[in-house]
Structure 1
Amino acid sequence: MLLSRATSNLLSGYRAEERMAVWIQAQQLQGDALHQMQSLYGQHFPIEVRHYLAQWIEGQLWDSVELENPQEEVKAKRLLDNLVQELQKKAEHQVGEDGFLLKIKLGHYASQLKSTYDRCPLELVRCIKHILHTEKRLVQEATNASSSGGGTMDSLSQRHQQINQAFEELRVATQETENELRKLQHNQEYFIIQYQENLRIQAQLSSLSAVTAEERAQREPSLQAKRATVETWLTREANTMQKYRLDLAEKHQQSLVQLRKQQTMILDEELIQWKRRQQLAGNGGPSEGGLDVLQSWCEKLADLIWQNRQQIQRAKHLIQQLPLPGPIEELLTKLNADVTDIISALVTSTFIIEKQPPQVLKTQTKFAATVRLLVGGKLNVHMNPPQVKAIIVSEQQAKALLKNESTNNTSSGEILNNNCVMEYHRTTGTLSAHFRNMSLKRIKRSDRRGAESVTEEKFTVLFESQFSVGGNELVFHVKTLSLPVVVIVHGSQDNNATATVLWDNAFAEPGRVPFIVPDKVIWPQLCETLDMKYKAEMHSARGLSDDNLVFLAQKAFSSTSVNLEEYRSMTMSWSQFNRESLPGRNFTFWQWFDGVIELMKKHLKPHWNDGAIMGFVNKQQAQDMLMSKPNGTFLLRFSDSEIGGITIAWVAENPNKAGAVAHQPTGSKAEGERLVWNLMPYTTKDFSIRSLADRISDLNHLLYLYPDRPKDEVFSKYYTPPLSKAVGGYVKPQIKQVVPEFTTPNPETSPGNTYMDQSPSPSVPHPNNFGIFPPISDPMMDAEGEFDLEDTMDVARHVEELLRRPMANQWDSQPS
């Protein structure tokens, strides 16, 4: 029988826990399901009642009431009275400014439900049964929909549900200790009254010495008996009270254990993950949203911790009022220290940087940042708004700060406008300081190590503040460090500084010593980082394909393997990434890749997103691909030898071969040698003069974008509309791109007057006499027929030289 009762209790506990989960899961509903759930409530049954009495409501046996049986009205009436009583109790326990309003509201709902259902309590049962059954159905449907989409609730939803469930358990436990504390206080007050009564009786007994023996004989026995009864009660009650005190202290201890566990989950897991997402966002990762959810959790933690702290202090005050033998005072002292540690850890950990300063920080340039205290509103910190100060510190100073070593408050530079007052925003409930106009005036660098350059030196912006809570009861000095920043003084350093930041953001580990990162990573890790960065800069879901990654691996490791699997176990060091130049080049792997990103981002993003740019293809691969296609087929590939260059490769007959013509239509039988040609690479400067689409439109010998798409079908939507006619007697000039070897000569214009915006670059050996410029004597061409900027004049001077050459009547103007 005992085993059966225990089993029944255990099962009922499981059922209660399952029922309790309904309201928690109902709050996670979205879309139409959420609207359906909300429509269940109104004046007949307010949603606030469902929320604040969730555990009690789901713990009642509503289904045991037979709605069609009038005799069940007594049972329904009891449930109504209990519901009203629970609401009134909930209202009485509300304290503080917010609690006062809630107290009035809950009291109003208690009266409203009483007057509505007092004469028809079965209707209340009908209403609540409908609500609970509908909620359960909606939750089940949402769970099934999630299951059909690939399993049960995803790990994120499960973790959030676990956190919310733990908060509900903590709220219930805190309410129970509050009730126990009130009961203990009431018992102690009654005990003191009885103790005073005992003193009064003793005083009366003492006064009997002054009366006659006869009167004393009459009064003394009753007083002695009364004193004995009171002292017996006091002794028994003292033992009981001491047990109550110990039980309450143990419950507080259990609550603190659960609070610390919940806080660890939120701060050491959820908040750390948010910070990690924020760091990856610096590399183009997904937005780090979810801070508002974190704040709601942290505020709940702050509220519960503070309530427990106040309860422990009240319990300690009761003991001071009525000391009793035992270890209870020492235990409460320890509990008070523990709860203070918990609230201190919460406050100091929730002082975070909502908006990071730029990680590549240029001196004399304005920048912004925002810091936020996630528990500021709940602890009423804004009642005396604290001031936040920002200073820049070196890597060594950051290490000392994390070790709590003194840094003498010295900074490694001077930041202007580095003080800001935290503001409370009532609409969002956030307490934050927004630094809008900071500027790094100067920087003090440390001695560099080995081959480290100035763009590898890391700093961090330290934000610190001080404030008090609880009427200066607790004073907090909070600090937080920004993500590592690299300070530059000139735009030419941006490329290398970005590499340092990219590597740090991608491969930093949580809890590291500032700002240590691994020197080597496996190639797939770097691929993920490069793909993330590339997609972010392109604002597109089209990232780097496996073929693209093979090309990048070949370039990074100077390898000829075409199997991606062979690269998966290979490692790439920081030196290979951005210290050592690629073989035969004067730039690093990252500098080349970043040049591609800059070119694409500024001028070619639409074409990449359209799939028009193949890009990551070398010369030999382009030749192999094009030679099997009809004449006039072309593709766009990134230059191997020039940073931020892109070239057009196309297949055509050699126009200088005997019997060949300048342009041969597809399918012609004319004799000639088919070659793959590579146009001199275009750069950002070229596209600032004329767009890629217009340049391709100019070149009539380009017919099909590889493999077989007509070029107008791909590029026509980007063509510049034709120029209008002359205005005010002036003819507008027009720039046209011409490749002379593939242009039919104009009989009215001598060959010497042909304007060539770019020169051809054959991919295979061919006769040198093109009739334009002797290729072997052009110092601007490298062995592959592409620019070699290190050995010649810069691009601007080269363009100037080209523009001085005679034009083929491209600019004709009317006299003014």
Structure 2
Amino acid sequence: MSQWKQIQQLEFKYLEQVDYLYDDNFPMGIRQVLSDWIESQDWDMAAHHESMATVLLSNLLSQLDRQCSQEQNFLQRHNLKNINKQLQIQYKAYPLLMAGVISTSLREERRIIASANLPEPGPLEKSVQNSVAFERQKNMDNRVVMIRSSVQMLDLAVKCLEDMQDDFDLRFKTTQSRDPADRNTEGMEQEVTRLQEILNNLDFKRKEILSKMSDVIKEIDALIASQLNPELMEWKRRQQINCIGGPLLTGLDQLQNWFTLAAQSLFQMKRQLDKLGELILKVTYASDPISLQRPQLEEQVKYLIDHLIKSSFVVEKQPWMPTHPQKPLIIKTGVQFTTKVRLLVKLPEVDYQLKVKTIFDKYLPPGRVHCQFFILTSTTKVMDVEESSNGCLSVEFRHLQLKEKKYVNGTKVNEGPLSVTEELHSLSFEAQFNIQGIHIDLETCSFPLVVISSVSQLTGGWASIMWYNMLTDEPRNPDFFASPPRASWGQLSEVLSWQFSTFTGRGLNREQLCMLGEKLMGQQASHNECQVSWSKFCKENIPGKPFSFWMWLDFILELIKKHLLPIWNDNCIMGFVSKETERACLKDKEPGTFLLRFSESHLGGITFTWVKQSDSGEAKLISVEPYTKSRLSALPFANIIRDYKVIADGEVPENPLKFLYPGIPKDESFRRHYNSQQSKVFPYISSTWIPISTLQCVHNSLLLSSNLSRPDNACRPAPKMCI
């Protein structure tokens, strides 16, 4: 079943997550009409090779043209034509960006499908999955609507007060303009009495309006403190979790709606208070409540506006390199990276007015030498209105680039006490907000970044990003790794499973995680509350091995992504199995049963072990030397399983692999993954690569079968077997 058909069968709550994936950068209309073609292309590879991305962009536009010509529905044909034009404008100069967007969307789809099949979320996901539950949203919506209604009613009350004051002002001036001789008449006394009644009513109305204003201001203050700020903080926490592979990030549009309605209410109240200030210029009196109470209310409104606007300035997309979209918050010097800032308050008066400036490491830790960097490219852009979406005000920096400072004031600055991958940096954003006489300095900051100078540091850098965002919600703590806290195995195992979901589309099951826990900590790993130190995770070598636990696991992730993805997602690889468990699984199986597991002794290696019956009738387990990326780049692993041969004591070569554990016929599991490499050029004899091993543990060769010839370039060493 295609991936898109699987998506359409998901429950509504998962479909909402899918809906969030698609916008004008990658419209869902394209995903629908070209679903099979899109899934048949290698977008992951295209995202790293511009020539391939250019070809795929051209093919995508051609596919859309063909679909338009075949479409019978006029409206659908019109929409497809508009999408075609939009894609040409948006991606013609940036084909890599298009490939990255589609690659990310397909990967997120696989992750959503995987999460829909998981039996129970882990502790981190549990902590964030209900943070914007429906009932809370409904309560928030109702509260904001009530505030907006109260503010609108205040508008009417202020207008009514203005009319009452105008009536009083007219009557008072008319009375004053009468002849002094008429001021002691009965009619004059009645008019004065009437004026006093109106003034009393005016005083009562002023006090009533000011009291209602005070109540509304308190309600907005309570809304911001008890709901709006917590919702924003929880969204930021969900963003942290999403950065390290957690659930899809949603809710920012809803937050913008709440922030905007609250801001509109406050600015409307500010205008009402300004109006009251104008009214007392015409009519005032002793103990006038406006004169006494307005200054304090005005200060409260300005404070709330200041706080709300400052809080609404957020980093919508944390810094990430298009070359490594699955690993945000890691920046390599000399490589362009992207980030996006957004203002959650939508006010037409500030559209196209906010100029955002980026600053790197504005807050360096005092008192210690630190690697220092500066932004090589332009650091300032103006926020724009995204007309294509919900009209939010945002700015995206797509071409930022860092360069290292070697010396500052003649002093070398690249000698920090921590390793490069443990030094945390930050990217700050500043802007100046001016409206209705209010000036606000805006500032927000990215999550902590790791800056590397070599791709070889990527593994360690990503470990730091995972550890930080897993264990703290502090927006800025540059000294975190001076004394890093421990993680519970429950937290860590969940994040490790997310890595497989993110990079391969399928997370780890309970048995696989249990094996990883035992490899890291021993038998005690069965307890979720067991603590893991930072050093144990990625700095100390596995006993007897020249590499750490995380390096071993990260190499496996890379191996799956580049060479094993189809058979991994098809559940053909058992993967994380200790030798003891392997023996327990296979010892009672019939000869020819085999399983696939990742090597514990080689970085990024996969091996297979099969059951062979000895002459005495006993079952023996035989394992082949692990295949690594260097070998799998030459021959697909499914083909190795299909064509593998063993020679023993001059016997005819035979394939010992018959049944995939627990007993599935080999071809039934792997047929769909076989890749035919036979030449179609005639009259030459077609040829096929065949991996052959000898039971004497001598070196093996990759022979050319079919015509049983072996050209010079066909003789390559193959993995040895161990009995």
Preserved CA contact (<8 Å) 2:504 2:560: yes
Distance 1:708 1:238, change over 3 A: same
> 1:188 is matched by which residue type in structure 2?
Q
Q: Which moved more, 1:713-722 or 1:491-500?
A: 713-722
1:538 corresponding residue in structure 2: 504
- Structure 1 position 516, deviation (Å): 4.0
> What are the equivalent positions in structure 2 for 1:405-484 lying under 5 Å apart?
412-428=373-389, 429-443=391-405, 452-470=418-436, 473-484=437-448
> 1:335 is matched by which residue type in structure 2?
L
- Distance in 2 (alpha carbons) for counterparts of 1:628 and 1:423: 67
The answer to whether residue 227 in structure 2 is matched with residue 280 in structure 1 is no
Distance 1:489 1:596, change over 3 A: same
Preserved CA contact (<8 Å) 2:566 2:673: no
- Structure 1 position 619, deviation (Å): 1.5
- The C-alpha deviation readout for 1:640-684, integer Å capped at 9, x for no partner, is 112211111112145xxxxx5xxxxxxxxxx46532112111112
2:333 corresponding residue in structure 1: 363
Preserved CA contact (<8 Å) 1:395 1:458: no
Distance 1:233 1:749, change over 3 A: closer
The answer to whether residue 443 in structure 2 is matched with residue 498 in structure 1 is no
- Distance in 2 (alpha carbons) for counterparts of 1:455 and 1:418: 25
- Structure 1 position 454, deviation (Å): 0.8
Preserved CA contact (<8 Å) 1:627 1:651: yes
Q: 1:622 aligns with which of 576, 582, 587?
A: 582
Distance 1:353 1:750, change over 3 A: closer
Give the unaligned 5+ runs of structure 2: 1-12, 17-129, 321-328, 407-411, 645-654
The answer to whether residue 182 in structure 2 is matched with residue 182 in structure 1 is no
2:277 corresponding residue in structure 1: 316
The answer to whether residue 366 in structure 2 is matched with residue 393 in structure 1 is no
Q: 1:298 aligns with which of 233, 254, 259?
A: 259
- Structure 1 position 704, deviation (Å): 0.9
Preserved CA contact (<8 Å) 1:391 1:411: no
1:681 corresponding residue in structure 2: 626
Distance 1:761 1:620, change over 3 A: farther
- The C-alpha deviation readout for 1:151-176, integer Å capped at 9, x for no partner, is xx997111111111112211221122
Preserved CA contact (<8 Å) 1:633 1:708: yes
- Distance in 1 (alpha carbons) for counterparts of 2:543 and 2:429: 44
Q: CA RMSD in A?
A: 3.2
The answer to whether residue 305 in structure 2 is matched with residue 343 in structure 1 is yes
Distance 1:221 1:413, change over 3 A: closer
Distance 1:427 1:631, change over 3 A: closer
- Distance in 1 (alpha carbons) for counterparts of 2:157 and 2:373: 55
- Structure 1 position 443, deviation (Å): 5.0
Distance 1:324 1:423, change over 3 A: same
The answer to whether residue 350 in structure 2 is matched with residue 381 in structure 1 is yes
Preserved CA contact (<8 Å) 2:626 2:719: no
Q: Which moved more, 1:258-267 or 1:317-326?
A: 258-267
- Structure 1 position 412, deviation (Å): 4.0
- Structure 1 position 636, deviation (Å): 0.8
- Distance in 1 (alpha carbons) for counterparts of 2:278 and 2:503: 62
> 1:175 is matched by which residue type in structure 2?
Q
Preserved CA contact (<8 Å) 2:493 2:513: yes
Q: 2:316 aligns with which of 354, 358, 365?
A: 354
- Distance in 2 (alpha carbons) for counterparts of 1:237 and 1:522: 72
- The C-alpha deviation readout for 1:84-128, integer Å capped at 9, x for no partner, is xxxxxxxxxxxxxxxxxxxxxxxxxxxxxxxxxxxxxxxxxxxxx
User: Percent identity at matched positions?
Assistant: 30
Give the SS at the match of 2:342.
strand
- Structure 1 position 448, deviation (Å): 6.6
- Distance in 2 (alpha carbons) for counterparts of 1:330 and 1:577: 64
Distance 1:515 1:240, change over 3 A: farther
Q: 2:548 aligns with which of 588, 591, 595?
A: 588
- Structure 1 position 708, deviation (Å): 0.5
2:208 corresponding residue in structure 1: 247
Give the SS at the match of 1:652.
strand
1:807 corresponding residue in structure 2: none
> What are the equivalent positions in structure 2 for 1:575-724 lying under 5 Å apart?
575-653=535-613, 660=615, 671=616, 674-699=619-644, 700-721=655-676, 723-724=678-679
- Distance in 2 (alpha carbons) for counterparts of 1:487 and 1:702: 46
Preserved CA contact (<8 Å) 2:148 2:261: no
- Structure 1 position 724, deviation (Å): 3.0
- Structure 1 position 538, deviation (Å): 1.4
Preserved CA contact (<8 Å) 2:356 2:429: yes
- Distance in 2 (alpha carbons) for counterparts of 1:499 and 1:220: 90
2:519 corresponding residue in structure 1: 555
Greater relative contact order (CA < 8 Å, ≥ 6 in sequence): 2
Q: Which moved more, 1:360-369 or 1:265-274?
A: 265-274
- The C-alpha deviation readout for 1:187-242, integer Å capped at 9, x for no partner, is 111111222133224xx22xx5xxxxxxxxxx6752xx344333333333333322
- Structure 1 position 760, deviation (Å): 3.1
- Distance in 1 (alpha carbons) for counterparts of 2:545 and 2:233: 41
- Structure 1 position 433, deviation (Å): 1.2
- The C-alpha deviation readout for 1:60-85, integer Å capped at 9, x for no partner, is xxxxxxxxxxxxxxxxxxxxxxxxxx
Give the SS at the match of 1:356.
strand
> 2:694 is matched by which residue type in structure 1?
P
Preserved CA contact (<8 Å) 1:725 1:731: no
Give the SS at the match of 2:268.
helix
- The C-alpha deviation readout for 1:227-267, integer Å capped at 9, x for no partner, is 43333333333333222212111100111111122233553
Give the unaligned 5+ runs of structure 1: 1-27, 32-152, 209-218, 401-409, 655-659, 661-670, 764-816
- Structure 1 position 396, deviation (Å): 3.3
Give the SS at the match of 1:284.
coil
- The C-alpha deviation readout for 1:403-452, integer Å capped at 9, x for no partner, is xxxxxxx98423312221211233431221121211112256967775x3
- Distance in 2 (alpha carbons) for counterparts of 1:705 and 1:735: 22
- Distance in 1 (alpha carbons) for counterparts of 2:415 and 2:677: 57
- The C-alpha deviation readout for 1:127-152, integer Å capped at 9, x for no partner, is xxxxxxxxxxxxxxxxxxxxxxxxxx
Preserved CA contact (<8 Å) 1:448 1:454: no
- Distance in 1 (alpha carbons) for counterparts of 2:607 and 2:212: 74
- The C-alpha deviation readout for 1:32-51, integer Å capped at 9, x for no partner, is xxxxxxxxxxxxxxxxxxxx
Give the SS at the match of 1:320.
helix
- Distance in 2 (alpha carbons) for counterparts of 1:256 and 1:159: 22
Preserved CA contact (<8 Å) 2:333 2:451: yes
- Structure 1 position 334, deviation (Å): 0.9
Give the SS at the match of 1:738.
strand
> 1:316 is matched by which residue type in structure 2?
G
- The C-alpha deviation readout for 1:591-643, integer Å capped at 9, x for no partner, is 11111211112121221221111111111221222121111111111111122
- Structure 1 position 394, deviation (Å): 6.2
2:649 corresponding residue in structure 1: none
- Distance in 2 (alpha carbons) for counterparts of 1:427 and 1:248: 41
Distance 1:234 1:440, change over 3 A: same
- Distance in 2 (alpha carbons) for counterparts of 1:267 and 1:514: 27
Residues paired across the two proteins, number: 559
- Structure 1 position 755, deviation (Å): 5.6
> 2:591 is matched by which residue type in structure 1?
N
Distance 1:639 1:443, change over 3 A: farther
> What are the equivalent positions in structure 2 for 1:44-63 lying under 5 Å apart?
none
Q: 1:172 aligns with which of 149, 153, 171?
A: 149
> 1:168 is matched by which residue type in structure 2?
V
Distance 1:560 1:304, change over 3 A: closer
Distance 1:650 1:755, change over 3 A: farther
